Structure 1
Amino acid sequence: MLFAFSVAPSGGEGAGASVHEAVAAAIRIVRESGIPHRTDSMFTTLEGEWDECMDVIKRATEAVGEYGTRVSLVLKADIRPGYSGELTGKLERLEKALDGEG
């Protein structure tokens, strides 16, 4: 299963407050989990089983909550039993299709 999530605090210090420290706290939890993941400028995607991924997302969300009075969480899941390696597999299939091989 793939879980893409984005988490950010609000209601913190000042109108122009940056969220990079809060996001770093969340990503630290993701990295320490050992779960395969990829982070880009918009989302972090985890690949694993339901319970292990949701535990990491919950802990990352709680960590971000330390930086504001509210937390915004966006979550998308691709639940496809019996498949693994999709963190890279989907991209490989896309590249093949773009090259006219798929």
Structure 2
Amino acid sequence: MIVAFSVTPLGVGEEVGEYVADAVRVVRASGLANRTDAMFTTLEGEWDEVMDVVKRAVEAVEARSPRVSFILKADIRPGVTDGITSKVETVERHLAEG
């Protein structure tokens, strides 16, 4: 499965990057394929391992924030591996074709 999620601390002011970095550290230490962009962190793996990482990432932010907002989107497609890369490559190939 591929999961895109965003976790945002509330009640800590406008600058939230240091709190988000706590969540991203958890994701990167997990060993799962992942990417972080301006809006979401995406990771790929089996259901239980992905959800465990997401939970720990949210808890890392929650540990320093009085309130947390959390968004999650999942693509569950059994048998597909490396979707985090191949899905983007497919779109890029179609763009190159015109």
1:20 paired to 2:17:
yes
Report the RMSD for the aligned CA atoms in angstroms: 1.2
Which consecutive residues of structure 1, in runs of 5 or more, have no partner in the other structure?
none
CA apart distance, 1:96: 1.1
| Partner residue in 2 for 1:100 | 97
Runs of 4+ in 1 over 2 A off after TM superposition: none
Q: 2:76 aligns with which of 71, 76, 79?
A: 79
May I ask how many residue pairs the two structures share in their alignment? 98
The structure having more radius of gyration, on CA atoms, is: 1
How does the TM-score come out when normalised to structure 2? 0.94
How does the TM-score come out when normalised to structure 1? 0.90
Measured against aligned partners, the alpha-carbon deviations of 1:44-86 in whole angstroms (never above 9, x if no partner) come to: 0001000000000000001101232111111000000010011
SS in 2 for 1:81: coil
CA apart distance, 1:21: 1.1
Q: What is the percent sequence identity of the aligned residues? A: 58
1:44 paired to 2:41:
yes
Which consecutive residues of structure 2, in runs of 5 or more, have no partner in the other structure?
none
Question: How far apart in 1 are the matches of 2:88 and 2:14?
Answer: 34
